[in-house]
Structure 1
Amino acid sequence: MKNLEKVNYRGFVLPLVCGIILWCMTPLRPAGLSLAAWQMFAIFVATIVGCITKPLPIGGTTLIGLIVTVLVGLAPIKDEVNPKTGVVTSGILSAFSNSASWLIAMAFIMAYGISKTGLGNRIAYWMIRRFGKRSIGIGYAITALELILGALIPSNSARTGGVVWPVTESIAKDYDSLPNDPSRKKIGAYLSMLAFHANILSTALFITGAAPNMVASQMAAQKGYTMTWVSWFTAALVPVIVATIVIPLVIYRIFPPEIKETPNAKKWADDRLSELGPVTKPEKVMLAVFFLAIILWVLSGIFKLPQLDSTFVAFLAVGLLLLTGVLTMNDALKQTGAWNILIWLSILIFMASKLISFGFIDWFSKSIQMGLHGISWEIVLAVLVVLMFYTHYFFASGTAHMTALYLPFLSVAVATGAPLGLAAMLLAFTGAINASTTHYANGPASIIANTGYIKQGEWWKLNFILGIIYLLIFGVIGSLWMKIMGLW
């Protein structure tokens, strides 16, 4: 007899309590806020809390939130047109036409080709062979590897868990640096911390670096600011370059490895490359399709041609990988991460759009603006960035955090006079660098913090220091660079 699948029913308690309390407060809602706006807010908050407590995987949790939205009459199934006013009410099925969700889903499928063909490991071994004579060189090689994979693999957890961490672990163990052992400090602890922060940098560099980036781009679009692959990359380039130079050096100084010279690293990488053999035809095709996608993404940002829409480019790349035999349709269907993100990202963006259409976000920003009257936008934006960073201590999901706070914070910043482009990008970058907080901050943190190479106290102490450095680099240097770019 088959048993029922386990469900974390306890995880429903807090979301239900939050949602019910807010719903019951409807008669006490602030003046100027419609009934629908407050009820949508209650469901949205309950859904976000559910994404944190995880009674179901995030896709299932958001699906329950969407079902409740329909049951209480806040959204129809299909788009409906009011015959008298001509106003269109968006139905829940329109949520799944969101281009950003499809873009990242297709990028997930593309990324599978990197691991299937072995191209990711080949790049990793080549980087170690080139820069691995000293431990700090290996650190920079891992950072460079992450930055390359950031353009190839749209999941920060997949980059760390699938390629970077296995390579890092292999190097550490080759030097007899073992987890949960005093030998961890030989080189394993240093490389583990470096690998985590390399992931933060790769996430910040590309709009496809992680799901929260795509949430930010969609939220910003609802305020009238468009983020393209090129515009994000250009805005992130200088602060990420500075951080790429500074962060590994800081880690090397405050958390140094006992082993400074690593002459065996080149031989280790050579042996692994020999095992892989010459570059295969699937690897060559995968690389060619990837570069084609990058070129078309760049052109789409320059020429704004509808035929070069970034989502269509992702579809085209997947189609080419299927046509050339690098991937099969079965490979595409097995990428559960792609289809999972398509569901929950579409739903969260749809629910946020309902908060806008019902007037909640406009009310919120105007209310805050009145309270901040007389305070310069520079101070307001700085406070919002710091809040966006440190409130991540209360979130175990970057996506939930971004969905909950990005749009309200952006609205407040703009309402107090902050330039839209500067505020949109600074808050979006903060959603990437705020992973430098806890051992549960995101997927890569959970992977690396639990390997046994870094103690929890070390993790919190080091990341607190590094977090301040990130805020200074992106807040000061990033803002100056965006000024030069003309974003404000």
Structure 2
Amino acid sequence: MKTLEKVNYKGFIWPIIVGVVLWCITPWRPNGLTPQAWQIFAIFVATIVGCITKPLPIGGTTLVGLVVTVLVGLAPMKDVTNAKGVVVNQGVLSSFGNSAAWLIAMAFIMAHGISKTGLGNRIAYIMIQKFGKRSLGIGYAITGLELILGALIPSNSARTGGVVWPVVESVSKEGYDSKPNDPSRKKIGAYIDFTAFHANILSTALFITGAAPNLVAQQMAAKQGYNMSWGGWFIASILPVAILAVIVPFVIYKMYPPEIKETPNAKSWATDKLNEMGPMSKPEKIMTAIFVLSIVLWVLSGFIDIPQLNTTFVAFLAVALLLITGVLTMQDALRETGAWNILIWLSILIFMASKLISYGFIAWFSKLVQTGLHGVNWGLVLVVLMLLLFYTHYFFASGTAHMTALYLPFLSVAVATGAPLGLSAMLLAFTGAINASTTHYANGPASILATTGYVKQGEWWKMNFVLGLIYLVVFGVVGTLWMKVIGVW
């Protein structure tokens, strides 16, 4: 006899309470907000609470939030255009055309190819051979890999999904039999999965081309008369990033210790495994060629302005080549459920966050901050603005959208209170890079690594809160002093 699937109905209690209470106080909403702005805020907060209480998997929870948004009339299904054909109200169907979400989905399928061909195993064994004597050494090796890739690949999602995650998965599963969604995850997989995420934050902060939000900050700062160059950003970030690259893997190691700490026989074991594998197979060689081609094209996309060289298109191209060459089948792609799950929930959260912007909630919040900080010492203003830019990321699933909405208003507030332009511009830009240390939906890499089954959602939030404080202190204190030394302010 067939039965219904289990649903955690208790998990709906808090999202419903929070959403209904916020909705019911719409008549008493803050001045300057339209009813629609407050109501979309209520639904968004309720959805985020649902992502925490998990009445359904995150894809189902966000889908319910999207349905409610349409039912109450806050978003149509299709785009609404005016007589000139200009979109005046974005429909929910358009949310599934989000390039970041599709990039991640394609990166997941690429990662499946790296795993299927055995290339991931080979890379894992080579890494264990070189760095595997201690698990902490692997953590530093992953961090070093990310920092190198940060200079080459201008998409943080492409770096994680297309390159780093397949390595993490292979090292964990094949190297140490540490499997996701299993007690063995704590052997080493959970540690290097979480370390890989923070390595991505550091590589994003080190290079202005490390991720799209950095480039948004560059464009916005130019409107205030401050020019951010590639070299200037790198010099300003190198000291705080270098310090964090040393301490973050160690802090994670102590806070989230792997069960396997030392493997003195790792080198000989990995060498034996490589010998067993023998020469590279034909599928491995093709996968390697497509993998390298993708990296080259991702690198070029940061320097050559060609529409076809878009980072998302490169990921689509790689998957198409894997299908054409027979490395993957369409069934392989369809079975990669993580790709399609992320495509759904990340697209929805980005869409809902965009509605907060279009209905004026974010503009109202920016004005509130400006008014509240009038007449306050500029040093304190910068501290407050950094904290606000960091912690408001709980309401965003896209760093690009977050920086587009708040960076320029916050920079304007800082400068108006007497804060040095260069210091303000750089500190707020760095905050936009490190504020990914908040949620499991903070950015593309978080969406990938928080859903692998190695790190539980509660662990992700707790440890990120601690590491977020470390980032704020290092960039806020060391970064400020360093930028004084090098003449930024």
TM-score interval (norm. to shorter): 0.7 to 0.9
Q: CA deviation at 1:331?
A: 0.9
Q: CA deviation at 1:167?
A: 5.6
Q: Is the aligned partner of 1:8 residue 2:8? A: yes
Write out aligned runs for 1:249-328 (5 A): 263-328=264-329
Gap runs ≥5 in structure 2: 150-155, 205-209, 223-229, 416-423, 441-446
Q: Is the aligned partner of 1:67 residue 2:67? A: yes
Separation of aligned partners in 2, 1:19 and 1:400: 19
When the two chains are superposed, the root-mean-square deviation of aligned CA atoms in Å is 4.8
Match of 2:42 in 1: 42
Separation of aligned partners in 2, 1:34 and 1:301: 40
Pair 1:58–1:170, CA change in 2 (3 A): closer
SS of structure 1 residue aligned to 2:437: helix
Match of 1:118 in 2: 118
Q: CA deviation at 1:154?
A: 1.8
SS of structure 1 residue aligned to 2:328: coil
Pair 1:9–1:290, CA change in 2 (3 A): same
Q: CA deviation at 1:316?
A: 0.9
Match of 1:370 in 2: 371
Q: Which letter maps to 1:429? A: I
Match of 2:54 in 1: 54
Q: Is the aligned partner of 1:423 residue 2:424? A: no
Q: Given that residues 125 and 175 in structure 2 are in contact (C-alpha distance below 8 angstroms), is that contact kept between their aligned partners in structure 1?
A: no
Separation of aligned partners in 2, 1:449 and 1:73: 35
Match of 2:27 in 1: 27
User: What's the TM-score once normalised by structure 1's chain length?
Assistant: 0.73
Q: Given that residues 62 and 347 in structure 1 are in contact (C-alpha distance below 8 angstroms), is that contact kept between their aligned partners in structure 2?
A: yes
Q: Given that residues 346 and 397 in structure 2 are in contact (C-alpha distance below 8 angstroms), is that contact kept between their aligned partners in structure 1?
A: no
SS of structure 2 residue aligned to 1:202: helix
Match of 1:165 in 2: 172
Q: CA deviation at 1:243?
A: 3.1
Separation of aligned partners in 2, 1:101 and 1:194: 25
Match of 2:192 in 1: 195
Separation of aligned partners in 2, 1:324 and 1:482: 50
Q: Given that residues 350 and 397 in structure 2 are in contact (C-alpha distance below 8 angstroms), is that contact kept between their aligned partners in structure 1?
A: no
Q: CA deviation at 1:15?
A: 0.8
Gap runs ≥5 in structure 1: 172-178, 181-187, 208-212, 436-440, 451-455
Pair 1:28–1:297, CA change in 2 (3 A): same
Pair 1:193–1:18, CA change in 2 (3 A): closer
Q: Given that residues 8 and 55 in structure 2 are in contact (C-alpha distance below 8 angstroms), is that contact kept between their aligned partners in structure 1?
A: yes
Separation of aligned partners in 1, 2:109 and 2:169: 14
Q: Given that residues 201 and 244 in structure 1 are in contact (C-alpha distance below 8 angstroms), is that contact kept between their aligned partners in structure 2?
A: no
Pair 1:357–1:154, CA change in 2 (3 A): same
Separation of aligned partners in 1, 2:65 and 2:249: 42
Q: CA deviation at 1:379?
A: 3.7
Q: Given that residues 365 and 415 in structure 1 are in contact (C-alpha distance below 8 angstroms), is that contact kept between their aligned partners in structure 2?
A: no
Q: Given that residues 105 and 342 in structure 2 are in contact (C-alpha distance below 8 angstroms), is that contact kept between their aligned partners in structure 1?
A: yes
Separation of aligned partners in 2, 1:445 and 1:483: 41
Q: Given that residues 348 and 403 in structure 1 are in contact (C-alpha distance below 8 angstroms), is that contact kept between their aligned partners in structure 2?
A: no
Q: CA deviation at 1:275?
A: 2.5
Which segment is superposed worse, 370-379 or 300-309? 370-379
Pair 1:242–1:164, CA change in 2 (3 A): farther
Q: Which letter maps to 1:431? A: A
Q: Report the number of matched residues.
A: 446
Q: Given that residues 100 and 218 in structure 1 are in contact (C-alpha distance below 8 angstroms), is that contact kept between their aligned partners in structure 2?
A: no
Pair 1:110–1:160, CA change in 2 (3 A): closer
SS of structure 2 residue aligned to 1:370: helix
Question: What per-residue deviation string (whole Å, max 9, x for no partner) do you get for residues 169-218 of structure 1?
Answer: 459xxxxxxx99xxxxxxx98x67863663233331566xxxxx98x849
Q: Given that residues 41 and 355 in structure 1 are in contact (C-alpha distance below 8 angstroms), is that contact kept between their aligned partners in structure 2?
A: yes
Pair 1:33–1:153, CA change in 2 (3 A): closer
Separation of aligned partners in 1, 2:165 and 2:471: 23
SS of structure 1 residue aligned to 2:435: helix
Q: Which letter maps to 1:8? A: N
Question: What per-residue deviation string (whole Å, max 9, x for no partner) do you get for residues 60-86 of structure 1?
Answer: 111111111111111111111244996
Match of 1:210 in 2: none
Write out aligned runs for 1:150-189 (5 A): 153-154=160-161, 162-166=169-173, 169=176
Write out aligned runs for 1:447-462 (5 A): 447=454
Pair 1:448–1:76, CA change in 2 (3 A): closer
Pair 1:196–1:60, CA change in 2 (3 A): closer
Identity over the aligned pairs, expressed in percent?
56
Q: Given that residues 203 and 432 in structure 1 are in contact (C-alpha distance below 8 angstroms), is that contact kept between their aligned partners in structure 2?
A: no
Pair 1:346–1:486, CA change in 2 (3 A): farther
Q: Given that residues 161 and 444 in structure 1 are in contact (C-alpha distance below 8 angstroms), is that contact kept between their aligned partners in structure 2?
A: no
Q: CA deviation at 1:261?
A: 8.2
Question: What per-residue deviation string (whole Å, max 9, x for no partner) do you get for residues 275-303 of structure 1?
Answer: 32222222222222122222222222212
Pair 1:163–1:471, CA change in 2 (3 A): farther
Pair 1:383–1:159, CA change in 2 (3 A): farther
Separation of aligned partners in 1, 2:92 and 2:261: 57
